[in-house]
Structure 1
Amino acid sequence: MAVSSAATSDARPTWRPHLVDTARALAVLATTLVGRSADDTLRLALPSTWIQCLVFVTAAFVLVARRLPLVALGATAVLDALPFWLDIGGAGYHLALMIAVYVVVAHEPSRQARRAFGLVLVLQVVLMAWDMGWRWNSMFVVLAALSVTFPAALGLAARSRSEATEALRQRAVAAERSRDADARQLLAEDRLRTARDLHDSVAHQIAVMNLNAGVASRSLRERPDDAELALVTVREAGRAVISSISDLLTSLREASWHDVVPRHDLADLRVLVDEFGTLLPGLSVSYDDAAPDPTQAVDPVLYAVVREALTNAYKHGRHEAAVDVRVRLGRRSSCVRVTNASLDRSPTITEGFGLRGMRERVVEAGGRLSATTDGDHFTLEAEVPGSGEGP
């Protein structure tokens, strides 16, 4: 919208060129028909013969010079040559030729304008030299050359100014379009980031609520203690959902969620694994370091990958089967690998919002993510650079 409004504001009134053309034609007529009488007063001398009426034809060509510049230049050049043989007065005809030269140089393509100007210049010099008895050094020959060179110079200046103005306008339009494209790109990135944050912070907790609600319903009669524990987990997950939504909305309103980077360590990762321990009895976690420091930092991207992988392992895997989580933290790179038994034996992997969001996060962090399937085993591996504080 900004581009169209800028283009509209630069548009000139459509009546202005017609007014200028009319003024030029009237100037041609006035130069020929208006003169001074014996008592030094201005008088209008109307044509007395049909040949003198050619001045009106000349004025007509001036009117159409903007639309037919080369035609107008050729016609006015011929009409300007007639006073050398006919007694019809030459000032108005020559003014028309000067106007046509200006229009051609200002508006026609450069090559055509140069050729047309060259022909008119040669014609004027030759005619004036012939009229002066072939005295090429006559002042009138020089004036004839200058009389067509001067409007050509003005036309060239107008052409340069018009081209510079158009170039500036095009750059302004391009800059406006670029700003609009950048704004749309930023908006798309913000929507994508918001969708990922919403999925990571809310979808996981809702999945936990759903899973524990199922455990509670199955254990309510035979194992009431397990049902009570599951309901407590549902309540805590509900509180976490409310808190996550509140934090997300606050960040969106304050436009600061880009700057909020969650901090996680190995202790947080252990808490996350323990949350899924009751749902996935075969869940185990191992570290490359035999005695890892619980306060060692874990990249938030890798933490999100483990959380999403364990959620998918419960939703799409066999609960009683083994789920292996392997963690490697290092200065140059950090890696997590989650393997679980899948209910789907299809050799192809369909990426949902969770897997797609994980891949986008890992790629943005400069890492790589791979999801592979081997029979009924699904393996998710993510590696990011420069995470952790290990060796």
Structure 2
Amino acid sequence: MRRPSTSTIVSLATIIAVLAGTVLTYLLRRPGIQINALDVVLPLIAFGALLLRERYPVAALIVVAVAVAAYYPWARLDGPIIVLPFLAFYTAADRGHLTAAIATGAASLLAMGLGETGGVRHVDDSLFIMIAGWMVAAIAFGGVTRNRRAYLVEARRHALDALHSKEEEARRRASEERLRIARELHDVLGHNISMINVQASAALHGLKKRPEDAEAALKTIKETSGETLRELRTTLGVLRQVDEDAPTAPADSLARVDALVAASGLDVRTELSGPLDTLPTEVDLAAARIVRESLTNVARHSGTTDARLTITHKSGNIVIRVEDDGPGTTYDGGSGFGLQGMRERATALGGTLEAGPRPEGGFRVVARLPLKGAR
């Protein structure tokens, strides 16, 4: 069984109180006063309209006001049904029909005032002012509760919007972090595993003809795989947020560009100009990762072991150029993560990265990273 609403309970309580007051008025009436049909019909009409005030606030207000206005001049009893319009006025204002409530209230007061000019006065000045005050208070209270309810709804909407925005921001940050982690793992693992693959191929090729070269290649594989495991353990340790020893290998830097070139296993002609040991940290790391990834791509896709690396300072930028003359001119970026990661690194610093086949053959990567104003 559904529980009655608060509005219905209030209406029923008001009707019971008015009905009890009307019965008491009947029992205490002066001798000789006989009730008529309006003493019963008009209160019943007002009661029925009051029960419908939530669904039809304006219609209920008008019916209650007319019934009460007709009750006192033409009915024989003076029951307390005067309280019914105040509840109807409050409901109409609370439901947003403020104009209708004010107009009905003004019409009721005007009718009451005109009715008292007929000679016999039923309401003195003080009671008239008190009724007008109650009417204004009922309408004002209904308007206040409506405004407060609207304020609470708006506050709730703003809170939900803020929560939604916060969740969207958290999802965006999580997505960016996943991309960053994927880029870091690709840069580290992709390069080192490529070097392992190149050195393993060299070892297999020269195992019988040049055992000393195979031994050097296997030593390089051992060192590279150890470094890969250390870097992978460090990255996973950060993700798990556990206390582990700090990584022993230094971070990539253009100041150690010779080590980057040597680790690639390629024959690289290097041209450097300008200081490389005073670069901003984020620029230095991004530049070193771009050099490493570019050389890895040469070793993996170009079909040659020769490459050229040029690093220059130009117009407030550090320009990195990696070129090869290999036959792999149709290289499309493989899985796409290598070039995408390099381009994202450059863009994050406000720079640019261009990569593509050279007209004269081979492949070229050119990155421009601003030394100042990095974003």
TM tier, smaller: 0.7 to 0.9
* Distance in 2 of aligned mates of 1:66 and 1:119: 19
For residues 23 and 88 of structure 1, the distance between their equivalents in structure 2, rounded to whole angstroms, comes to: 27
Deviation string, structure 1 residues 76-135 (Cα, Å, up to 9, x no partner): 222222214430656554322211211111122xxxx23202321221122111221179
Distance (Å, rounded) in 2 between the aligned partners of 1:24 and 1:157 = 20
Residue 252 of structure 1 pairs with residue 239 of structure 2:
yes
Q: Is the 8 A contact 1:76 1:93 kept in 2?
A: no
Match of 2:18 among 22, 31, 40: 31
Number of equivalences: 355
Matches within 5 A, 1:1-391: 15=3, 18-34=5-21, 35-36=23-24, 49=37, 52-87=40-75, 89=77, 93-108=81-96, 113-133=97-117, 138-254=125-241, 263-276=251-264, 279-281=265-267, 283-289=268-274, 299-320=284-305, 322-329=306-313, 332-346=316-330, 352-375=336-359, 376-386=361-371
Tell me by how many angstroms 1:243 deviates: 0.5
Output the CA distance in 1 between the equivalents of 2:273 and 2:139: 83
Cα pair 2:316 2:371 within 8 Å, conserved: yes
Q: Give 1:48 shift.
A: 7.7
Percent of pairs identical after alignment?
25
CA distances 1:242-273 after superposition (whole Å, capped 9, x unpaired)? 1011111222233899xx99754445111111
In structure 1, C-alpha distance between the alignment counterparts of 2:318 and 2:197, rounded to whole Å: 32
Q: Over the residues paired in the alignment, what is the CA RMSD in angstroms?
A: 3.4
Give me the whole-angstrom Cα distance separating, in 1, the residues matched to 2:26 and 2:78.
21
1:11 is aligned to none
Unaligned runs of 5+ in 1: 1-13, 41-46
CA distance in 1: counterparts of 2:51 and 2:27, whole angstroms? 34
Q: CA deviation at 1:299?
A: 0.5
Aligned partners of 1:346 and 1:247: how far apart in 2? Answer: 36
Q: Output the CA distance in 1 between the equivalents of 2:346 and 2:78.
A: 83
Alpha-carbon offset, residue 307 of structure 1: 0.3
User: Displacement, 1:382?
Assistant: 1.3
Deviation, 1:59, is 2.3
- Preserved contact between residue 301 and residue 362 of structure 1 (Cα < 8 Å): yes
After superposition, the C-alpha distances for 1:30-76 in whole angstroms (9 at most, x for unaligned) are 21443547998xxxxxx984761442332232222122212222222
Larger CA deviation: 192-201 vs 248-257: 248-257
Q: How far is the alpha carbon of 1:380 from its aligned partner?
A: 1.0
1:370, CA displacement in angstroms? Answer: 1.6
Instruction: Check conservation: 1:316, 1:343, Cα contact below 8 A.
Output: no
Equivalent-residue separation in structure 2 for 1:48 and 1:39 (angstroms)? 15
Report the CA distance between 1:155 and its aligned residue.
Answer: 0.6
When structure 1 is superposed on structure 2, of 222-231 and 127-136 the one drifting more is: 127-136
Counterparts of 1:192 and 1:256, CA distance in 2? 24
| Residues 148 and 266 of structure 1: CA distance in aligned 2, closer, same or farther (over 3 Å) | closer
Q: 1:336 Cα shift?
A: 0.8
TM-score (norm 1): 0.80
Alpha-carbon distance in 1 for matches of 2:243, 2:311 = 31
CA separation of 1:346/1:77 partners in 2, compared to 1, >3 Å: closer, same or farther?
A: farther
Over 3 Å counting, the alpha-carbon distance change for 1:100 and 1:272 in structure 2 is same
**Paired residues of 1:128 and 1:144 also in contact (CA < 8 A):** no
For 1:62 and 1:24, how far apart are their aligned partners in 2?
7
Return the letter of the residue paired with 2:152: T
Instruction: Check whether the contact 2:272–2:310 (CA below 8 A) recurs between aligned residues.
Output: yes
Is contact 1:22-1:63 (8 Å) kept? Answer: no
Deviation of 1:316 (Å): 1.2
* CA deviation profile, 1:152-173 (whole Å, cap 9, x unmatched): 0111111122122222212221
Rounded to whole Å, the distance in 1 between the matches of 2:332 and 2:78 is 90
Rounded to whole Å, the distance in 2 between the matches of 1:144 and 1:123 is 13
Which amino acid in structure 2 is aligned with residue 122 of structure 1?
A
Q: Match for 2:317: what amino acid?
A: S
Is residue 219–residue 227 contact of structure 1 (8 Å, CA) maintained in 2?
A: yes
Change beyond 3 A, Cα 1:124–1:204: same
